[in-house]
Amino acid sequence: MSEAVKDSEYSVVAERLTQSYGAMKAVDGVSFKIKKGEIVGFLGPNGAGKSTTMRILSGLMPATSGRAYICGVSVANDPKLAQSHLGYMPE
């Protein structure tokens, strides 16, 4: 991630997140950015990949591919530091 993104207005950045279970893709190329101070929620039907996306963002599950950053910290490279910037309460 570039310095411009690290120092940007975004607290969460997801870039082309994918999670596969064999041939099935639970999450397929999801990208989004959440600005600092925003409150967001995931809505969708069962099996849409909401919980899987949150597990990736919170460092509980590695993505098959793609990148996730919390406050500029790579979730894959430093999950504990990324987790220190995130509050997550699963359903």
Does 91 fall in a domain? no
DSSP state of 63: -
Boundaries of domain holding 34: 3-83
Average pLDDT, the chain: 90
Q: What one-letter code names the amino acid at 58?
A: S
Tell me how far CA of residue 83 lies from CA of 3, 19, 38, 55, 91, in angstroms: 20, 19, 18, 11, 18
72: domain CATH number is 3.40.50.300
Tell me the per-residue pLDDT of 16-29, one tens digit each, with 9 for 90 and over: 999 999 999 999 99
Sign of the C-alpha dihedral computed for residues 7, 10, 15 and 18 taken in this order: positive
Does 39 fall in a domain? yes
Q: Domain count of the chain? A: 1
Does 89 fall in a domain? no
Q: Which two tokens stand for residue 42?
A: 């995931």
Does 88 fall in a domain? no
Tell me the per-residue pLDDT of 62-71, one tens digit each, with 9 for 90 and over: 999 999 999 9
Q: Model's pTM, two decimal places? A: 0.86
Does 37 fall in a domain? yes
